[in-house]
Amino acid sequence: MARPTVRRRRRAALAVATAASLLLAAACDSGTQSGEIKIGFITATTGPVAFAGQTFGNGTQLAIDQLNQEDYLGGGRKIKLVRKEGAENPARAVEQAKQLAGDQGVVGAICCILSPVAGAVKPITSAAKLPLDIYGATDLGLEDPPYVVRTTTLPQDANRSLARKVVAQAKPASVAYAVTQDNSGWVSQLKSFQEGFAGTGVRDLGTVNTLAAQTDFSGAAGQLMAKNPEAVVIAALQQSSISLIKALRSRGYRGLIVTAETIGSPGAFKAAGQTLADVPFPVYFFAGKASAQGQKFAQSYKAKYGTDPDDYAAQGYMAAYMMATAAKNAGKDVTRESVTKALSNIKSLDGTIYGSVRFENGQLHAPDSIVHITWTKDGRQTEWTPSGRSAS
Amino acid sequence: MLFVQQLINGIALGAVYALFAVGFGVVFSTMRILNLAQGVYATWGALVAYWAVAELGLPFAVACVAGMAGGALTAVMVDQVAFQPLRSRGGEQLLGTIITSVALWIALREVASLATGAAPLGFPPGTVPGGLLHIGGVRVLTTQIIAVVCAVAVTTLIHLLFRHTRLGAAIRAVGHDRGAAMLGGVNPRTAILTAAALAGAATGLAGVLYADNQTFTFALGDGLLLQGFAAVVIGGMGDARGAAFGGFMIGIVQVLSAQYISNSFQDAITFGLLLVVLVARPRGLFRTVELGRA
């Protein structure tokens, strides 16, 4: 008779220990009033856009490290990035988003370079009432407050601005376009360039479509050159843009070539070299003209990673800064609900790496920080002016 | 004039497809393997050539040879890791070889991604022959001429090797009936390794010539795989000339359809052509090895 009693006691003790462990784990996971605030981060350090994902990730991590060091949240609380590798693959990113959504200790998430990935992830996080900050995807309309905000600096505004500068200063008589036609983000960017040129008297000679998986651009270069444009605008993926620029220049095209921000990373110059010289592109972050906070960011970034930060690194930094600010503003009880509310209440921020920024319907705008830059032949970035080949 | 310009672009692109297809055809006709890892031979060929030029400062011609060696080495390694164990079991292993080739494709692709940081790469300026010929109103790049010359030369050499040498006869004999070839004194392992190395070298060269005038990534071989497969089916699996013809044909159709029909549908048109050929001539235009034997 003694054995069943002992068993019952053991079982009771085990049950009590299990319940205590679960309660302890739940308390640790809640993120509320504990010393650690967990922010999910779906990274892209592998996969097709890993070259950009790495600098996005660098910027995000740098922001978290700096803010933790400065005790930005106050009271010794720290932000912990919960990194999940999504490889910018929609199915994989969705799985990672589900994991983050299932962890109630995670009070916010940062994700997505490609628009289709962001489109796939946001229903998952929204259903879990997990606030999501999109840091790289550019297709219009991805923001969806209160649960989805976007700190991606919209290239569409920057492209329109660059197009108008090209018209005013380089004065091309005609322009032809090339676009990655099967990617909605790039079609949207093409339209923004076209809007910038519209009504200016620059003759539109038409658009050459390319595909995301396309790797040979000899035909596309031939098509563009047959139109005999004084300027060519390329709204395409990084590799496509670089390859098309190389194909045009190697065939003797001497007119002005204009692209989006995609060729701004150091890796782009390493791959293409001086072929990219005098090709203007717009950025929101340029260390040479950055705010005081931006200068500090650029110095820290170079000290840690050995290169100047590009636009992607700045976007990663800004996404983390935004989420940290929401966590700070959420007060002592940092939950998904309080972070969501705090994100919605942010209408403007001063002293960011872009200077002063404002938010409209969950979208960050920083029009004053747009700079039109280009690569020099020796691999530096400088403000673009229509000189040399561009002006001829 | 635009038609001639795009025709030349198509021929040059087709030359790369032809080299790839010749390698693809050699593997299929010898080993009866639908090798989906073939694309990574091109990727590794291009990577080795790039490193030879960018890191070691070797001239482009030497880099081409290094790229061929890189492709050949990758092909032999894939054969020994993925296909040899299946061959040793005997019998038809078509499904098994397809699955293992997919596994090797993904694994070697990921290794290439890690090795390059998934960043776009490009041969440094001045390291690739950069001449531009103006013939009438048509522009022809030196690299395009090199691609066509290489494709014709490699196709001819492989055709001659297979049809007019003892080694070629041995390789063909192993492809036709391994047991009978062994009875005839042929060492099947030597024949298969030679065929794998030849296929890898041709494919590696295709990768180098594809990458030399643009940027490329670890995914370079993926696009070539589909086009090369279509080329070899169109031309015929057992004849290097047929595979090369298919490659040139696809390059020309792709560029001209993009110019005169639509860029958006160039792949649909290419593979529509493949369907038409499969229906009309299931053994390819050169009527060689029957696909059904796979």
Predicted confidence (pLDDT) per residue in B191-201, tens digit: 999 999 999 99
pLDDT for B86 equals: 85
Same domain for A265 and A376, yes or no, is: yes
- The answer to whether the CB atoms of A239 and B220 lie below 8 A apart is no
Average pLDDT, chain A: 89
- Chain B nearest-CA distance from A251, in A, is 7
Instruction: For residues A234-248, give the mean pLDDT.
Output: 93
Q: Is residue A24 part of a domain?
A: no
Residues of B at the A interface, defined by Cβ within 8 angstroms = 2, 5-6, 9-10, 12-13, 110, 113-114, 117-122, 124-125, 130, 132, 139, 141, 144, 210, 213-217, 219-220, 222-223, 254-255, 258-259, 262-264, 266-267
**Candidates B6, B12, B117; nearest CB to A51:** B117
- The answer to whether the CB atoms of A222 and B267 lie below 8 A apart is no
Residues 6+ apart with CB under 8 A from B28: B34, B35, B232, B237, B238, B289, B294
Same domain for A253 and A313, yes or no, is: no
**Candidates A181, A238, A268; nearest CB to B264:** A181
Task: List the beta bridge partners of residue A204.
Answer: A175
Q: Is residue A19 part of a domain?
A: no
- Residues in chain A within 8 Å Cβ distance of B144: 218
Query: Which string of DSSP letters, residue by residue, matches A267-285?
Result: HHHHHHGGGGBT--EEES-
State which of A203-212, B167-176, B230-239 shows the largest mean pLDDT: A203-212
Q: Is residue A28 part of a domain?
A: no
Residues of A at the B interface, defined by Cβ within 8 angstroms = 46-51, 53-54, 181-182, 208-211, 213-220, 222-223, 226, 238-239, 242-243, 246-247, 250-252, 267-268, 270-275
- Residues in chain A within 8 Å Cβ distance of B257: none
Fold of B1-280: ABC transporter involved in vitamin B12 uptake, BtuC (1.10.3470)
Instruction: For residues B213-222, give the mean pLDDT.
Output: 88
Instruction: For residues A120-137, give the mean pLDDT.
Output: 96
**Candidates B119, B141, B222; nearest CB to A271:** B119
Chain B residue with CA closest to A262: the answer is B120
**Distance (Å, rounded) from C-alpha A231 to C-alpha B60?**
33
Chain B residue with CA closest to A228: the answer is B2
**Distance (Å, rounded) from C-alpha A9 to C-alpha A325?**
50
When comparing pLDDT for A8 and B49, which is higher? Answer: B49
Predicted confidence (pLDDT) per residue in A53-71, tens digit: 999 999 999 999 999 999 9
**Candidates B219, B220, B263; nearest CB to A210:** B263
- The answer to whether the CB atoms of B124 and A273 lie below 8 A apart is yes
Check if the beta carbon of residue A145 is closer than 8 Å to that of residue A363. Answer: no
Same domain for A251 and A183, yes or no, is: yes
Q: Is residue A243 part of a domain?
A: yes
- The answer to whether the CB atoms of B120 and A238 lie below 8 A apart is yes
- Residues in chain B within 8 Å Cβ distance of A211: 263-264, 266-267
Q: Tell whether the model's pLDDT for residue B179 goes beyond 60.
A: yes
**Candidates B114, B117, B263; nearest CB to A208:** B263
Predicted confidence (pLDDT) per residue in B16-75, tens digit: 999 999 998 888 877 778 888 999 999 999 999 999 999 999 999 999 999 999 999 999
Chain A residue with CA closest to B253: the answer is A219
Q: Is residue A172 part of a domain?
A: yes
Chain B residue with CA closest to A267: the answer is B119
Chain B residue with CA closest to A213: the answer is B223
Check if the beta carbon of residue B210 is closer than 8 Å to that of residue B23. Answer: no
Same domain for A378 and A239, yes or no, is: yes
Q: Tell whether the model's pLDDT for residue A23 goes beyond 50.
A: no
Average pLDDT, chain B: 88
Interface predicted TM-score (ipTM) of this complex, two decimals: 0.82
- Residues in chain B within 8 Å Cβ distance of A242: 120, 122, 214-215
Same domain for A135 and A199, yes or no, is: no
Same domain for A195 and A223, yes or no, is: yes
Q: Tell whether the model's pLDDT for residue A329 goes beyond 90.
A: yes
Q: Tell whether the model's pLDDT for residue A391 goes beyond 80.
A: no
> Which tokens go with A218?
């000899």
- Chain A nearest-CA distance from B171, in A, is 34
- Chain B nearest-CA distance from A177, in A, is 14
Do you find a cis peptide bond into A145, omega within 30 degrees of 0?
no
Same domain for A165 and A273, yes or no, is: yes
Chain B residue with CA closest to A224: the answer is B259
Same domain for A279 and A309, yes or no, is: no
Residue B67's nearest CA partner among B101, B38, B41 is B41
Please state the length of chain A.
392
- The answer to whether the CB atoms of B5 and A242 lie below 8 A apart is no
Same domain for A188 and A203, yes or no, is: yes
Instruction: For residues B205-225, give the mean pLDDT.
Output: 90
**Candidates B114, B124, B139; nearest CB to A251:** B139
**Candidates B5, B114, B122; nearest CB to A222:** B5
**Candidates B5, B125, B262; nearest CB to A275:** B125
> What CATH number is given to the structural domain containing A302?
3.40.50.2300
Q: Is residue A15 part of a domain?
A: no
**Candidates B118, B120, B213; nearest CB to A250:** B213
What does each C-alpha distance from B284 to B159, B254, B292 come to in angstroms?
Answer: 17, 19, 12
- Residues in chain A within 8 Å Cβ distance of B213: 246-247, 250
Share of chain A above pLDDT 90, in %: 75
What is the domain partition of chain B in residue ranges? Answer: 1-280
Instruction: For residues B105-128, give the mean pLDDT.
Output: 89
pLDDT for A382 equals: 94
Among B145, B214, B255, the strongest candidate for a mutation testing the A interface, having the largest count of A CBs within 10 A, is B214
What does each C-alpha distance from B32 to A224, B72, B180 come to in angstroms?
Answer: 43, 18, 16
Among A215, A225, A241, A378, the strongest candidate for a mutation testing the B interface, having the largest count of B CBs within 10 A, is A215
Same domain for A170 and A91, yes or no, is: no
Residues 6+ apart with CB under 8 A from A266: A307, A308, A310
- Chain B nearest-CA distance from A272, in A, is 6
Q: How does residue A390 score in pLDDT terms, banded at 50, 70 and 90?
A: very low
Q: In degrees to the nearest 10, what's the CA dihedral of A332, A336, A340, A342?
A: 10
Same domain for A227 and A308, yes or no, is: no
- Residues in chain B within 8 Å Cβ distance of A217: 214
Question: Comparing A26-40, A100-114, A342-356, which segment has the lowest mean pLDDT?
Answer: A26-40
Instruction: For residues B276-289, give the mean pLDDT.
Output: 75
pLDDT for A16 equals: 56
Q: Is residue A352 part of a domain?
A: yes
- The answer to whether the CB atoms of A271 and B120 lie below 8 A apart is yes
- The answer to whether the CB atoms of B214 and A247 lie below 8 A apart is yes
Same domain for A278 and A163, yes or no, is: yes
Q: Is A70 exposed, middle or buried (0-12, 13-18, 19+ CB in 10 A)?
A: exposed
- Total count of domains within chain A: 2
- Residues in chain B within 8 Å Cβ distance of A267: 117, 119-120
Q: Is residue A30 part of a domain?
A: no
- Residues in chain A within 8 Å Cβ distance of B10: 219
Within its chain, how far is the Cα of B79 from the centroid? 16
Q: Tell whether the model's pLDDT for residue A389 goes beyond 60.
A: no
Within its chain, how far is the Cα of B183 from the centroid? 32
Predicted confidence (pLDDT) per residue in B79-99, tens digit: 998 888 888 877 667 788 889
Range(s) of the domain holding residue A81: 36-153+289-361
**Candidates B113, B121, B263; nearest CB to A271:** B121
pLDDT for A64 equals: 97
Predicted confidence (pLDDT) per residue in A177-230, tens digit: 999 998 888 999 999 999 999 999 999 999 999 998 888 899 999 999 999 999
Q: How does residue A366 score in pLDDT terms, banded at 50, 70 and 90?
A: very high
- The answer to whether the CB atoms of B2 and A46 lie below 8 A apart is no
- The answer to whether the CB atoms of A217 and B6 lie below 8 A apart is no
Q: Please report the number of interchain residue pairs, chain A to chain B, with beta-carbon separation below 8 angstroms.
A: 116
